[in-house]
Amino acid sequence: MDAPERLRPLLEAVLPLAERFARAGHALYLVGGSVRDALLGRDLADLDLDLTTDARPEAIEALLGPWADATWTQGRRFGTIGARRRGRTFEVTTHRAEAYVPESRKPEVRFSDDVEVDLSRRDFTVNAMALSLPALDLVDPHDGVADLAAGVLRTPLDATESFSDDPLRMLRAARFVAGYGFAPVPELTEAVVKLRDRLAIVSAERIRDELDRLLVVADPTPGLRFLLDTGVAEEVLPEVAALAGARDPLHRHKDVLAHTLAVVARTSPRRVLRMAALLHDVGKPRTRAFGPDGVTFHHHEVVGARMAERRLRELRYPAEDLERVRRLVELHLRFHGYGEAWTDAAVRRYARDAGDLLADLNELTRCDCTTRNRARADALARRMDDLEARIEHLRAREALDAIRPDLDGHEVMDHLGLAPGPEVGAALAHLLELRLDEGPLGQAEAYRRLDAWWAARRADAGS
């Protein structure tokens, strides 16, 4: 076929490799996302390229080595050799026919010589198309082009078989529902409902990575709804699934789940921020109480922070991501006490406690206002504008981003004649509190305050 103009830069990158494979007697095909997105007219400029071939892994490595700038072989046991050339990543995989076996976390890999067998084992028909190289013939044995045109999400094989082979595909379906607007066919949805507990054999790391990919699409809401409606959320994010019951019809309290999904959709598509938005209210079901004024969720941010930490630990999130999400959940109500009564000390503490999460915390706070009451929403926005202006004023005046005591540990030890230990930490904590309450003290005043604190501490110790 004649290559569309938008495909030419991609083909220029891959055709020299295809010629190397052809000279060695092997077929090579572009497959998966690049074919799908090319047919949809999406931007392919920075897309990593997946290819499949009848060559076995050792032959792939031999062919890639002299051509690529770098190669890696971590996926060799699954038939995949990776390479990088001129800034673009390529992954070349031997045609496969693979399946998970019951109770196993690892696929049983078998290689094939037939590209159509390989395509039949792929997740969805829209990903089960291949472009032969260098001939540029489209291989589409499962009508993926028709499903692309119709906006349909369907599996090449029977959905039950496909999801049994790799249960992560049930979670991946949510990303395609959200990211591409595909409508799952009924048999796909029915299979997910039936097999959702089979996700227990999938590693936490693979589930984590797929959740991250879902959360950063423009609007994850349809995909999250798919996970909730099919019960998959109960398997991977049970705390979010539980929000569906956190409502109070008697007092007409808003649906916490609907609110959560709205907050996620409003935040920027950054995975840590989106995860914090998804988990920010998970403490509400456990803290719900009824009183004279209706339903309350006192301290749900504290309970929710602990719950978020446990969930992300189970999903094997890196410690830094876990701590950032936990902190955002814990702090997401802090702003709501803000008003004219907040002193500069309170503003300093807000900025200090948020640290480098300040921008994300403020965005989460703004997005957490999903009220339809325009006057209330405008009032909250004005208050946040005012707080941000005060923070910027203090930042310009006091180097707010680096709030620390006016003296360091060495100065405290030299002045008081102390060795390293708890008393030095207590002295620095005292000086930091003074710094937050009053702003910069200056060195002379800091030493005077340190002497007064130390004298009082010694007097207390001797009484």
User: What mean pLDDT comes out for the span 153-171?
Assistant: 94
Q: How much is the pLDDT for 225?
A: 97
How would DSSP label each residue in 315-346?
Answer: TT--HHHHHHHHHHHHHTTGGGG-STT--HHH
The answer to whether the CB of 347 falls within 8 A of the CB of 394 is yes
Three-class HEC string of 13-61: HHHHHHHHHHHCCCCEEEECHHHHHHHHCCCCCCCCEEEEECCCHHHHH
The DSSP call for residue 188 is H
Q: How much is the pLDDT for 6?
A: 67
Task: Give the least confident one: 1-5, 185-189, 350-354.
Answer: 1-5
Q: How much is the pLDDT for 398?
A: 60
* Domain boundaries defined on the chain: 5-150, 156-236, 238-401, 407-462
Give residue 103's pLDDT band: very low, low, confident or very high (50, 70, 90).
Answer: low
Position with higher pLDDT, 73 vs 46: 73
Q: For the packed helices 443-462 and 409-416, what is the interaxial angle rounded to 10 degrees?
A: 60
The answer to whether the CB of 17 falls within 8 A of the CB of 28 is yes
Give residue 458's pLDDT band: very low, low, confident or very high (50, 70, 90).
Answer: confident
Asked whether residue 337 carries a pLDDT value surpassing 50, the answer given is yes
Specify the CATH class of 156-236 in words.
mainly alpha
Asked whether residue 148 carries a pLDDT value surpassing 60, the answer given is yes
* Fold match, 5-150 / 156-236: no
Give residue 251's pLDDT band: very low, low, confident or very high (50, 70, 90).
Answer: very low
Residue 30 has φ and ψ, to the nearest 5°, of -75, 140
Nearest partner of 303 among 325, 321, 320, 280, judged by Cα: 280
Q: How much is the pLDDT for 221?
A: 97
Give the model confidence (pLDDT) of 285-305 as tens digits: 888 887 777 777 888 999 999
In this structure, which topology does domain 5-150 adopt according to CATH? Beta Polymerase; domain 2 (3.30.460)
CA atoms within 13 A on the CB side of 238: 8
Q: 3-state class of 147 per DSSP?
A: helix
The answer to whether the CB of 36 falls within 8 A of the CB of 126 is yes
The answer to whether the CB of 277 falls within 8 A of the CB of 364 is yes
Q: How much is the pLDDT for 404?
A: 75
Which pTM value belongs to this model?
A: 0.81
Q: How much is the pLDDT for 248?
A: 44
